[in-house]
Structure 1
Amino acid sequence: MIIEKLLLMTASSAAIQPFYSEVLGLPVIRSEQGSFTVQAGWSELTFREMDPQPAEEHYYHFAFTIPENRLPEAKKWIEALVPIGTEAGQDVSYSESWNSHSVYFEDPAGNILELIARHTMDNAAAHPFDPQQDILCISEIGVPTSSVPAAVDQFESLGLMTYKTRNDSFNPIGDDNGLLMVVEIGRRWHFTDKTAESFPVRVTIRGIGELYLRENEQGLSIENIN
């Protein structure tokens, strides 16, 4: 599953644009009053201001894929710029079932970002880690909802299938290239003290189109807005 575009909401685009363009070094491809877009490998990431302004900041969890052999160098790079998340005294997450290593950090708005090296992918780099070359794509976006099974059924009706094993509280949809992380509202995000909360997301998936995801009283609403 290829995530071509991801649009997230924020209270102030001006407050976070420098983090993405200057700290992470992602090229700005569009910038206007109230929004900006950066290029992250084959994916575009857009932040747009909310109107009216909410009482509290929205925060999301999303991941960038990096070359499968460059996590140690990527960790040194990002921890020199921002604090990285820890859990049980560890600052690198290893998943045996996914065969991946990750590090977690936050942007100034509190969004939870992840650099993930998936050892199942044939994307090893021969050169030293370079964020401008080696942030390869957006490969995950968290989708919290009150009913994970119902949301999974909706995604599967669109041809977007479960990754690994179906689960009632944590059910990724997609494949190694891209995942929608369908999780139960209130579940703690890995390597943070934040819980999963539902905020509107627009995600463009190759072969599917643009989906508008938002939670309502019935659970997750998925609107294809092509």
Structure 2
Amino acid sequence: MKIKKLTIYTSKVKRQLQFYRDELNFQVRDYDETSFELLTGYSILRFEYRENAKPYHIAFHIPDNQEEEALRWIENERSALPNNNQKIIDFSNWGAKSVYFYDEDKNIMELISRRDFSKPKSAIFSADSIVGVAEIGLATVNIQEKFKKMQTECGLVKFDGDLERFCAVGEASGLIITINKNEKVWFPTGDKAFSADFILEFEYDQTGYSMSFKEDQLEISKK
């Protein structure tokens, strides 16, 4: 599953633009007072203004074995978010290591390094090292309903978890992290999970799809 474009919402367009463009040095396009787009490897992350936007959980792929370089990079601007005092978090069952940080909306942003996914092009880590969008969190009251729709309309499969509290849907190249917002909080901060609206454009099994998540309802169409 390859995530091509993810659209999310922010109440702080200007501040988010400054953070990603001016502090982290991401490449930006199509920016105005109400929106902008980040170029994140093979993906685009689009921010659009919404007055009452809710926070998200989003992950970026980074090159294999560059989690230490990524940690130093993000901590030039702000502290990484630890788990049990560890700022590089090992997901051995996924063959991955992650670094987390907050952006200006308190979105929980993750830099995930998987083994044998993308070899580094440079020993120096920067925003240009980002490989693509890896994950989007989907907080709902009914995981089973959402999974069944994704499975029926896209053929997506369960990567890990269950259908009660947590279910990672897709494959290592791209995941929808589906959780029951009434029973689970976001890792590693323990922040409350909200049903934050998004639009996701992705490719799976050589087919393009558009997925809209709005007010805890999921709509999927082929592109």
Q: TM-score, normalised by structure 1?
A: 0.90
2:109 corresponding residue in structure 1: 113
Cα distance in 1 between the residues matched to 2:19 and 2:85:
27
Q: Which residue of 1 aligns with 2:219?
A: 222
Alignment correspondent of 1:213: 213
Q: Corresponding residue for 2:144?
A: 149
Partner of 1:103: 99
Deviations 1:143-177 (A, max 9, x none): 01101111110110121221145442111111111
Amino acid in the other structure paired with 2:104: P
Q: Is the CA contact 1:5–1:45 (under 8 Å) kept in the aligned structure 2?
A: yes
5 Å matches for 1:25-44? 25-44=25-44
5+ residue gaps, structure 2, are none
CA contact (8 A) 1:2 1:178 kept: yes
Are positions 1:127 and 2:122 aligned together?
yes
Q: TM (normalized to structure 2)?
A: 0.91
Contact 2:211–2:218 (CA under 8 A) maintained in structure 1: no
Question: Aligned residues, how many?
Answer: 218
How far apart in 2 are the matches of 1:47 and 1:18? 13
Q: Distance in 1 between matches of 2:92 and 2:148?
A: 27
Q: Does the CA contact (< 8 Å) of 1:8 and 1:47 recur in 2?
A: yes
Aligned-partner Cα distance in 2 for 1:89–1:130: 23
In the aligned structure 1, how far is the partner of 2:109 from the partner of 2:67? Answer: 14
Deviations for 1:36-68, whole angstroms, at most 9, x for unmatched residues?
A: 001000000111011xx22xx411010011111
Which of 44, 64, 69 is equivalent to 1:73? 69
Q: Tell me the distance in 1 between the aligned counterparts of 2:186 and 2:124.
A: 27
The more displaced of 24-33 and 151-160 is: 24-33
1:202: which partner in 2? 199
CA distance in 2, matches of 1:214, 1:128: 40
Distance 1:132 1:91, change over 3 A: closer
Structure-1 separation of matches of 2:158 and 2:79: 32
SS of structure 1 residue aligned to 2:68: helix
Query: Which structure 1 residue ranges, 4+ long, deviate > 6 Å from structure 2?
Result: none
How high is the sequence identity, in percent, across the aligned residues? 26
Q: Distance in 2 between matches of 1:164 and 1:126?
A: 30
**Structure 1 vs Structure 2 CA RMSD:** 1.6
Moved more, 130-139 or 171-180: 130-139
Structure 1: segments with no counterpart, 5+ residues: none
